[in-house]
Structure 1
Amino acid sequence: MSDDFMPRAATQATGRPAPSWAKKPPPRSKAATRTTGKNTARKYFGPRDPQDHARKIAENVLEAWYQNFGGNSIDVPLGTVAALCLVRNVPGLADWILNLQPEELPRLFTEIYLGHWINRPDLINRALRLHDWAWNPDPDKQQLRAVHAVTRAAISTGLLDLTGHDDPWQRSEADVLSPLLTGLRHKSDKKWRGEYHTPACITDLMANVTVDKEFAKPGMSFHEPAVGSGTMFRSVAQRLRDLGLNPHDFHWYGVDIDALSAGCAAINAIVWDLGPRCLIGCADSLAPEDDYAKTRAEAKEAFEERDRYMDTANTIVAWRRAFALLDEVETAAA
């Protein structure tokens, strides 16, 4: 893979306020603590093994979704957990999220995805099926109640303790989305799709056996033609970090024929910090077409679209500042 296309940082729209999820949650009063104590996050004392922890999160999310009659749209609970995987844990954040009302959650999730879209529009576009529902201006009330239950279940089972670390090594210890996606799939659906994700213990073993300092050289490429949710990439990235290498110095290309799996891999690429040379495609890797060229073209188009939107936003901000300054001058003159 060549470096002629590399993801570029966006020029931030001057004066754009930070999204609400990125701000430090406001302190809760003692009265609020007494009245909403049931909505206070408690430290999670479940399985210590990261893989067991991820499976426990999936179990509780599945139970919450179906007990609250969420419906058959598995992209909704999957996208809810994926969004929560993208936030960094700060003191008070879990409590703040737990105290949001169901109708407030779609805005939270869209702001999370939008915040990451500014940096990696290609990956967020690839995960469109995971967040498309959150942009619905007239959401289904019952579905929102199920989303609320899923959010509470994920947070209460310690999701942010697993994926909210600043250190990418710590938040790459497990793939949370893999057991959730396979759990949401019906047995017959998984069978005809041939969707069986490789367990983390196997991918860790493969990475430890095949990747060493003699083999891994910065600039080389890792290609996964059936990437699933990206578990193999996670194991390789962790192995590189254990060897003192930076995943950012390597090329990653994963492709999957299933849009939801590819979307999960795209989100995980951000969570695991695979770096700017990571591309995730949705295509049939056995087809004669060049799926990498297609994915690369889609990524390039996503960045160009991002740049156009950011240029427009900067222009709007500049005009507003000019008009505000003109109003000040006219007021002073009067």
Structure 2
Amino acid sequence: MGLFDRFSESQDMGIDLGTANTLIYIPGKDIVLDEPSVIAIDDNKNEAIAVGKEAQKMLGRTPQNVRTIRPLKDGVITDVKETEMMLREFIKKARGNNNLTRSRIIVGVPSGITSVERKAVEEAMETSGAIDNIEFIDEPIAAAIGAGLPVDEPVGSMIVDIGGGTTEVAVLSLQGIVLSDSVRIAGDEVTDAIKRYLKRTYNLIIGERTAEQIKMQIGSAYPTDDDQETMEIRGLNIVSGLPKTVTITIEEIRECIADTVESIIDAIKKILEQTPPELAGDIIDRGIMLAGGGALLRGLDSLIANETGIITHIAPNPLKCVVYGTGKVLEDYERLARTSRKR
């Protein structure tokens, strides 16, 4: 029995269409796709030649007729056609060529998405074959459900979902958002800050993949016992045009990303300041929950706890909270139906 045959009996699908990664969940099958949101397009043929992990390998290594791009920016679609091509290939990987018109598909979207941006998601889903029963769920609610927070109870929960393009900060209660803020500052801005620092300080140009590796290996938001760790970086000397190698420290990276991290902290404080007293008391008792790839930035939980005075937790599987949340809604739709909305 092939991959597509095993998934053909399930019609429903939860999708986390993220700036950095796209994840798909099928009830009863768990996560069936987890790939970078990247597509490689042959401009001569106007067709996709690779998506996901295979396309990511091509970044910076393609001939002139091939573009390798990320068609989402700041959590929203920047090019409907390219996103549709990418989604179509992802859905084929996850489901095969089965008819999707009878499916219930729940898509996680930023809470601050505009009507125009939401329409772009709808168009991409429709042209990918998902014609009927498309529903949307705000990413903070999906992340909270995926992290195991009691969103359907009359208690306050605070979720901070730091993705590639957006940071979603929300206070939730009774399956709804009480307060929220969606700021378009997140993991991508941390990566860009690292690239700018190396260019400014060492005249060193590096690619996106190298900057991502630096962020994951020695990225730091708060001092730790590992502050003596260093990393050797290879790039191109902007002055000589020749390859160059430099050694950087954790402290350097912490300083160069400090402004970006501070913007995330400010968004959290802004929501806390507006939270009603009863819900604020619940949050103080239960703590703040971090989700998304940004939750894995070293020391970020400690920094938030220090700045707010509230204990801060990192969710289990923070990168998968949103898609797990969409899946839980599908699997317990009668109880959690109010968390999503039809288009």
Structure-2-length-normalised TM-score: 0.26
- Tell me which protein shows more helix as a share of its residues: 1
**Which of structures 1 and 2 has the larger relative contact order (alpha carbons within 8 angstroms, sep 6+)?**
1
